Amino acid sequence: MGRVRKLLCLFFVLLFTFVAAAVPSKQMLVLYKSSEKVVPDQYEVKWHLEPILVKQGWKLDYHNVDSSLPGDEQMAKYQAVASWHRTAVYSKPQDYVRWMRNQVVSGRKVLIFGNFGAFTADQKTWLSNEVLNEFFLPFGLEYGAAYSGDSK
């Protein structure tokens, strides 16, 4: 009887090991801007979202979009992208809009908290709704505001 019990235990351990190995890991790329004085360990995503996402089985990698936007090869391992930007300023906002659109079109989930993060490069000229809607329309949304950056 002890031998059968040991064999059954071994069987179930092996079964759960193979099942766990067969389940693909969920990976999310979290974007931040160092120009906003953000570092991954001191960031709203780390404080508010990461604990929940990790419990749901997500593995998070952080990426500074001020340094670069990841290419398609780098993005292949990610099923989702998240951001929590504090400002509307991005050095090349139109590139960011198109890159984010490509993430949606590629089938990745996109989570945006705080500011979208790419309305202007200089706070004087603002992207048109037409350009912004390159990102929003694939969601089934239409951006119709007139962002000015004026806090009044």
Average pLDDT score, the chain:
86
Please report which confidence band the pLDDT of residue 20 belongs to, taking 50, 70 and 90 as the band edges.
Answer: very low
Look at 150 and 85; give whichever has higher pLDDT: 85
What pLDDT shows up at residue 148? 63
Query: Is 83 buried (19+), middle (13-18) or exposed (0-12) by CB count in 10 A?
Result: buried
CA gap 117, 97 in Å, rounded: 9
